[in-house]
Every structure is written in structure tokens, then in C-alpha cells.
Amino acid sequence: MAVIKRVLALAAIAAAALMLSACERKITYETTAAQQPATCFDCHSDTDTFLLARKAQWQNSKHASGGTLNENSGSCVGCHTSEGFVARANGEPVPAVVDNPTVIHCFTCHKPHSNSTLDPTLRFGLRWTTNATLENGTTFDLGAGNICVACHHSRRNINTYIAAKPAMTTLSLRWGPHHSNQGDMLLGSNGYEYVGFTYGQTDHRSATDDGCIDCHKKTGIGNFVGGHTFNMEFDTGSEVFANTAACEDCHGAISDFAEVGPGYSVQDSVDVLIGDLETRLETAGLMASGAPVAVKASADSAGAVWNLLMAKEDRSHGVHNAMYTMGLLNSAIQYMSGNLPQPGAQPAPISFAPRKD
């Protein structure tokens, strides 16, 4: 019996030793990711008034309205949603659909913690610095304004959009340059140019260092015009504010945009030409209620419709490039009236509207 007890005791000791040898002591550490700031003002105080001012301006901009967020699929995504534009700017695949799109906001255009390539001392570098390029291949370096033309151009190449002669072009309700073709007009390109007509240029593209930005971002009045509103004019419902300060560096002190022009009003002249051409196109059965009619048209007739829509969709009433805009309209009017000069002939004079008192 004593022998059995001794054997059992030894077995118990051996089992305990095995259990202890199998046990490893481990020291574990728990790490918690640092809480990231939810908004700019988690780091920046409300004394950083430049951020507050830009936010207030942006809230009065078209960018903030979200009026086109329904265009959140297909080729529209890259300009109509923040997510799509950022993907384009980063050289990443643009999503086919953005399920929860956000408006064009601060960090659509700016990288919040990257220095500007245009001014290395500044933060909030622009995401897009590639030269402004139109669909027809025309390109020009507009500095900071390059980011504007990335979306603000006609999205169509006039050289291929209208069928070459003698083929016919089929018009439709949605035919024509895409909305917001300001880049085309500023660069003075991609209009339908008739053989035999000489087209002029108003050189706003090189008269400014940063193209669109130099005028549209010019400090204006409160949070209604200029700055990050990018508005040149704003109607509050009780008062209309015009950012005429944007013109003063070159054109002197003015109180109305109609005062810009050598003895005539650029905007009034363009509006007269638009009305004249639109009436002629309606009479010819090419336009109705401000839109193209679904018919087949010759290249020159389709070109007249294109030029009208280019001038209207630009929305500057000729200010972006007065001579080119009036040239497109005048040449189309002359074609529609049968007075277009033959190659080598002198073009008919451009019509101007007198300034309104």
C-alpha cells in the first residue's frame, strides 16, 4: 500500500510539472487609434476667420446648392459630385455611380493638408493643376483657373460633333454644347467657324495670371459676390450686388458691367445678337422655345445652332471673350441671312449696341 501511495504522489507531481511547463506567460498591449478631427474646427479655432469667411461665401455659391446631384452616374459623376471629381483629380477610376453624392465643397477642390503648388507657403493646395484643355485639343495654362475649366467646358468637340459636309447632323432637344462652357469662350475656341469669316479675340485668358479666379474670386461685397461664392452678380431678393471691382484693375472704376466696352456695351450687344440669331433659327424651323428642334440640318445650319447655344450657355453675355462671342453670332447671322462672305472677302462689320443710360 505504501508503494502504491508513493507512485500516485509521484504521478501527481509529474502531472503538475507538465501543466506548469505548458503554461506561457504573455504580456499584451492594447492600442487605441487616436481620435481624428471630425471638422476643421477641431484643430482650428473660430479665430481663424479666413475659414469662416470662405464657408460663408461658399454657402452662397452654385457649388453649394446641390442642384445637379441627381446627375450621379455615368459620365456626369466626374463633375457633378465631389466624389467623382476627387477621383478624377487623383487619377483614380471614377465610380460608375455615387450612391450618396456630396456637393462641390472645400475639399473637392482643395487638399486640406498639402501645400499649394502655386504658392508653397500656403496650405490647401489645389487638387487639379493640369493646363486647361478643351475637347478639341485647345490648351492654355490658366494657373489656378485650370481647376475651373476641368469642368466648365462644353465637353464636346465641334470638329467631330457636327457631321462633315455634305452629311447632315441630327438635332435634338439635348443637342449642343454642355452647360457651363465658359472655358471654351475664355480660350476663344471650339465654336463653329465659317469659312470666309475672320474671328477676333478678347484676350482675357492671358491678361490675367489665374484666368477665371482673378475675376470671379476678386473680393467683392460681403458674402454675396467674389471670394468663394465665385458670383459676379447676386440677387438677394431685395437688392442686386454686382462685383464690378473685378473689372477695375483693367477697365477703371465702373458701377455696371454694361460700362465695359470701347464706347458700346458688350453685354447689350451680345444680347441683341442672341435675340437676332434665335429669331432667324426659329423661323428656319431649327429652334423652338429656346431649344433645338429634332430635325436633320446641314453642317452650316447646325453650326448656327451651336454658336447660339455657346453664347447663351456661357452666361457672361460676352464678357469672357467679347470679340469671339460676337464673331460666332455675327457669322451665324450672316449665314442664315445669306450674306456670309466668300473665302478671301472682307467680313461684314460686327453690330454693336449703344450703352444704356
pTM (global) more than 0.95: no
Q: CB-side exposure of 308: number of CA atoms within 13 Å?
A: 29
Residues 163 and 93 in one domain: no
Q: Looking at the domain assignment, is residue 141 inside a domain?
A: no
Separation of first and last alpha carbons in the chain:
130
Q: Looking at the domain assignment, is residue 8 inside a domain?
A: no
> Residue 26 has what pLDDT?
52
> Residue 161 has what pLDDT?
97
Q: Label residue 264 by pLDDT band (50, 70, 90).
A: confident
Instruction: Write out the three cell numbers for 250.
Output: 483693367
Q: Label residue 220 by pLDDT band (50, 70, 90).
A: confident
> Residue 260 has what pLDDT?
78
Q: Looking at the domain assignment, is residue 5 inside a domain?
A: no
Residue 65 C-alpha from the chain's centroid: 14
Residues 225 and 99 in one domain: no
Among all chains, which residue has been given the C-alpha cell 477641431? 42
The model's pLDDT over 126-181, given as tens digits with 9 standing for 90+, comes to: 989 899 999 999 999 999 999 999 999 999 999 999 999 999 999 999 999 999 99
The model's pLDDT over 62-109, given as tens digits with 9 standing for 90+, comes to: 999 988 889 999 999 999 999 999 999 999 999 999 999 999 998 899
> Residue 37 has what pLDDT?
53
Residues 170 and 223 in one domain: yes
Residues 176 and 241 in one domain: yes
Q: How far apart are CA 292 and CA 278, in angstroms?
A: 10
Higher pLDDT, 110 or 182: 182
Q: Looking at the domain assignment, is residue 133 inside a domain?
A: no
Q: How far apart are CA 337 and CA 132, in angstroms?
A: 35
Q: What is the DSSP string of 147-190?
A: HHHTTSS-SS-HHHHSPPTTS-EE--TT-SSPS--HHHHHHT-S
* Residues of the domain holding 284: 155-336
Residues 262 and 208 in one domain: yes
> Residue 122 has what pLDDT?
61
Q: Looking at the domain assignment, is residue 310 inside a domain?
A: yes
Q: Looking at the domain assignment, is residue 43 inside a domain?
A: no
The model's pLDDT over 298-353, given as tens digits with 9 standing for 90+, comes to: 999 999 999 999 999 999 999 999 999 999 999 999 999 998 865 544 444 445 55
Phi, psi of 253 (to 5 degrees): -65, 125
Residues 112 and 216 in one domain: no
The model's pLDDT over 266-292, given as tens digits with 9 standing for 90+, comes to: 899 999 999 999 999 999 999 999 999
Residues 122 and 214 in one domain: no
Q: Looking at the domain assignment, is residue 302 inside a domain?
A: yes
Q: Label residue 7 by pLDDT band (50, 70, 90).
A: very low
Q: Label residue 55 by pLDDT band (50, 70, 90).
A: confident
Which residue, 101, 129, 126, is CA-closest to 116? Answer: 126
Residues 102 and 169 in one domain: no
Mean pLDDT value of segment 35-42: 58
Residues 115 and 173 in one domain: no
> Residue 62 has what pLDDT?
93
Q: Label residue 120 by pLDDT band (50, 70, 90).
A: low
Residues 72 and 191 in one domain: no
> Residue 357 has what pLDDT?
47
Radius of gyration (C-alpha) of the chain in whole angstroms? 31
Residues 102 and 174 in one domain: no
Would the CA dihedral through 48, 50, 51, 53 be positive or negative?
positive
> Residue 347 has what pLDDT?
42
Total domains present in the chain: 2
The domain boundary, picked from 126, 141, 168, lies at 126
Are 282 and 275 in contact by the 8 Å Cβ rule? The answer is no
Q: How far apart are CA 25 and CA 66, in angstroms?
A: 59
Residues 116 and 178 in one domain: no
Q: Looking at the domain assignment, is residue 136 inside a domain?
A: no
Q: What percent of the chain has pLDDT over 90?
A: 63
